[in-house]
Chains A and B, each alone.
Chain A
């Protein structure tokens, strides 16, 4: 082993590791949040991941429960084939329905907010070790995506773009601790902000901070973005209040908010690239 540490190969190994460390620093300080190596990998992997997701969806719907007998084998196989064809048509129909409903919501938002500029995107990757429902979309800097752009589904705020590559971007959801949205409760008009941590994220909630103990906010209230700060446009739905809790450490209170969007079932989303009041 000593001969390895004295060899040219070891020096090459150290140089490569130093270059990777430099890449980490470049990713941290650059506006896109991605190193050049990851950008290149994403260009190759984005179409492959899309294909793999589609293949996995098809295989998960495959029913392998064949029962045959020597007497009726041919008839059963023919009926099974017909059933699979109908199932495929049903899957295609459901997918079209889903796309239609997402575009209908998009049309609703577009007609209400003509100042919005959108880029449609599809979720292509998630991290199995991520506890905060973050995801990767198939649009990047080549499509006009930049960091700090909000991501929505219909009128619901999902999160914000944090890393941008050439053809893909990583979105941190509202459950992520580094995402804080300035919001207001629509009935009481009380201004506050959202925060998240491991415990609340695990239960599917985010926290509404900055409330007083005598707050009029109650369970069932709808929480929307206030537009303060210029990162998120006004009146995007963040979620609904499920419970108001008194803080144990001081005299304030906070509310647990359940986001309206179903993150596990999301496929198509929209990135807001521009809106009135956006901070440049």
Chain B
């Protein structure tokens, strides 16, 4: 019985870690190759951190952010820090303020996605002058934030399934 109690959480964390790695590889191979400005790690991080809570959410946020930082030309560590803060915040809000429903996850993903796009705009696009800042922000980064949110169902249901089936007995 004790073995089962520790086995299910370990299996859950291993499954979620593998999903993070696979999604990071898919983001690079699929989204970049087909020029889709979608950051798949954002909805995945929100889904996982919403179910895992604030403490585990911090570390899953670090994982998601580090995977994104590896491919990003923005100053290193920025997205790791951002994802860590937002992962912890997602877990905190889900546990103490919001109800853990699809709508809450959708709203958190929307906010998270917008903040990621804004951070990317600040650290990447604003390296140049800001003459065309508005059109660049709305044309690329805001569009990315909206498109990213539409990928939420792809992650929400599998993550929910893993979380409910592999919770500690």
Which chain A residues have a beta carbon within 8 Å of chain B's beta carbons?
A: 1, 4, 9, 12-13, 16-17, 20-21, 23-24, 26-28, 33-35, 37-38, 41-42, 44-45, 48-49, 51-53, 55-57, 60, 124-132, 134, 136, 162-163, 165, 168, 170, 172, 176-178, 196-199, 201-202, 264
Contact = CB atoms under 8 A, between A and B. Distances in A.
Contacts of A202: 132, 136
B78 interface: yes
A47 B104 CA distance: 36
B128 A201 contact: yes
A24 B75 contact: yes
29 contacts: A16-B59, A17-B85, A23-B77, A24-B75, A27-B76, A27-B77, A28-B75, A35-B69, A37-B77, A38-B69, A44-B21, A45-B70, A48-B24, A52-B25, A52-B26, A53-B33, A56-B33, A126-B28, A128-B32, A129-B124, A130-B120, A130-B124, A132-B127, A136-B71, A163-B73, A170-B73, A176-B127, A197-B129, A197-B132
A193 to B, nearest CB: 15
A88 B124 CA distance: 38
Interface footprint category on B: 35 or more
Contact of A24 (B26, B78, B116): B78
Given A52-B25, A129-B124, A132-B124, 13 more contacts: A16-B84, A17-B85, A23-B80, A24-B75, A24-B80, A56-B30, A126-B28, A127-B71, A128-B27, A129-B72, A163-B76, A176-B73, A198-B128
A198 B54 contact: no
Given A38-B66, A41-B70, A199 B84 contact: no
Nearest to A170: B73
Given A13-B58, A128-B32, A38 B84 contact: no
B13 interface: no
B89 to A, nearest CB: 10
B76 A33 contact: yes
A206 B136 CA distance: 16
Given A16-B58, A52-B25, A199-B131, A127 B77 contact: no
B29 A17 contact: no
A198 B132 contact: yes
Interface of B: 21, 24-39, 54-55, 58-59, 62, 66-67, 69-78, 80-81, 84-85, 88, 92, 96-97, 116-117, 120, 124-125, 127-133, 136, 140-141, 144
Contacts of B33: 53, 56-57, 60
A136 B74 CA distance: 12
Given A28-B75, A170-B73, A41 B67 contact: yes
